[in-house]
Chains A and B, each alone.
Chain A
Amino acid sequence: MKYNRALQEAGVLRALDGLHPPSMGARVSFSDGQATVVDGPFTETKEVVGGYWIIEVASRDEAVAWASRCPASDNEVIEVRQVQEFSDFPAAVKEAAAGLPEMQSQNKA
């Protein structure tokens, strides 16, 4: 796909994946610490996540600009959301998660 190639050549692409339809997936809800599994498909789903890109850009505008270039078909919607960075957390939480940055760098750096 040309679009993915463009993202890659611009050096902004961090990850992308397409997802199988929810009929093959499952939902897990938590109540009192106990997990309950319900297998797909789900009838009430109006909006289903079909895939995602993770891109590294300088601003929200740039992210929206990239999303707008996507060769999406009519009536498709792409949602642009900002990922939490470690620096977004307040000091107390950062302290509690002292072991995390290393782990995060191991997985994301």
Chain B
Amino acid sequence: MRFMIIVKANEDSEAGVMPSREIMEEMGKYNEELIKAGVMLAGDGLQPSSKGARVKFTGGKHVVTDGPFVETKELLAGYWVIEVKSKDEALEWVKRIPFDEGEEIEVRQVFEVSDFPADILPPEEAAREQAWRDEQQRKAATA
């Protein structure tokens, strides 16, 4: 299951205040832990909304509004995308984020095809697999 861990914006993130050295170090360690556990797919921090824009769609048209936007709590400041076995596991990882005070995180599940149904392999993929199996048999025979 793929989850998106969404970090909500706050006044600091909207003001473009850079994280301290200590926070960067701790965050680096945390990210490393995610990578070593093989669960991290992606992650990014976002620039303040002042550098962004909104596009609203009405009546088949779109209206562009430049940032910044005031309702800080509804803005995003960053995200991770992780691949885990359960929502509980996602939450367990979230609890380990080295945040201290006031930060709020939203955890959301990503839509996926719930399973890969039975299908045939494109010839070359199937052939690669067959080659591999042949190799296994050959090894088993000579072992």
Whether A17 pairs with B59 at a CB distance below 8 angstroms is: no
Contacts of A84 in B (CB 8 A): 44-47, 78
B42 to chain A, nearest CB (A): 6
Chain B contributes a number of interface residues (CB within 8 A of A) equal to 60
A33 to chain B, nearest CB (A): 5
Residue from B20, B40, B47, B106 having most chain A Cβ neighbours under 10 A: B106
A9 to chain B, nearest CB (A): 20
A64-B53 CB under 8 A given contacts A29-B105, A74-B59, A83-B47: yes
Contacts of B6 in A (CB 8 A): 49
Q: Across the two chains, which residue of chain A brings its CB closest to B94?
A: A28
Q: How many A-B residue pairs have CB under 8 A?
A: 178
- The contact sample of 27 A-B pairs, CB cut-off 8 A, is A17-B110, A19-B111, A27-B104, A28-B107, A29-B105, A31-B101, A37-B91, A49-B76, A52-B79, A54-B44, A60-B53, A74-B58, A75-B57, A76-B57, A81-B46, A81-B51, A84-B46, A84-B47, A84-B78, A89-B24, A93-B20, A96-B28, A100-B28, A103-B31, A103-B32, A106-B35, A107-B43
B interface residues with partner A (beta carbon < 8 Å): 2, 4, 6, 18-22, 24-25, 28, 31-32, 35, 40-47, 49, 51-60, 62, 64, 69, 74-76, 78-79, 81, 87, 91, 94-95, 97, 99-111
